A = this chain, B = another copy of it.
Amino acid sequence: MTLPTPGLPTTGLPTLGLVGLGKIARDQHIPAIAATGLFELAAVVSPDGDSAGTGGVPCFRSQAEMLAALPGLDAMAICTPPAVRHGLTVEALRAGKHVLIEKPPAATLSEMQDIAAQAQAARRTLLTAWHSRFNPAVEEARQRLADATVRSVAITWKEDVRRWHPGQDWIFAAGGFGVFDPGINALSILTAVLPAPVFVRSAELHVPANRDTPIRAMLEMRAAPGAPVGVVTADFDFLQQGEQTWSIAIETADGSRLDLTHGGTRLIVDGVPAMAEPDSEYQRIYRHFHRLMLDGASDIDARPLHLVADACLVGRWRTTDAFHW
Binding site for B on A (CB under 8 A): 86-87, 90, 107-111, 113-114, 174-175, 197-200, 202-203, 207, 212, 224-225, 302-303, 306-310, 312-317, 319
Contacts and interface: CB of A to CB of B under 8 A. Distances in A.
Given A86-B199, A224-B90, A207 B110 contact: no
Given A109-B306, A319-B319, A202 B174 contact: yes
Given A207-B317, A313-B308, A303 B174 contact: no
How many copies the complex holds: the figure is 2
6 contacts: A108-B199, A114-B199, A309-B309, A312-B312, A312-B313, A319-B319
A110 B212 contact: no
A309 B303 contact: no
Given A87-B224, A90-B224, A312-B313, A307 B174 contact: no
A200 B108 contact: yes
A317 to B, nearest CB: 5
A86 B227 CA distance: 14
A225 B108 contact: no
Given A87-B224, A113-B303, A113-B306, 4 more contacts: A109-B309, A212-B317, A309-B310, A312-B312
B198 A110 contact: yes
B313 A309 contact: yes
Contact of A313 (B87, B175, B200, B302): B175
Given A212-B316, A316-B212, A310 B207 contact: no
A249 B111 CA distance: 24
Contacts of A317: 207, 212, 317
A95 to B, nearest CB: 13
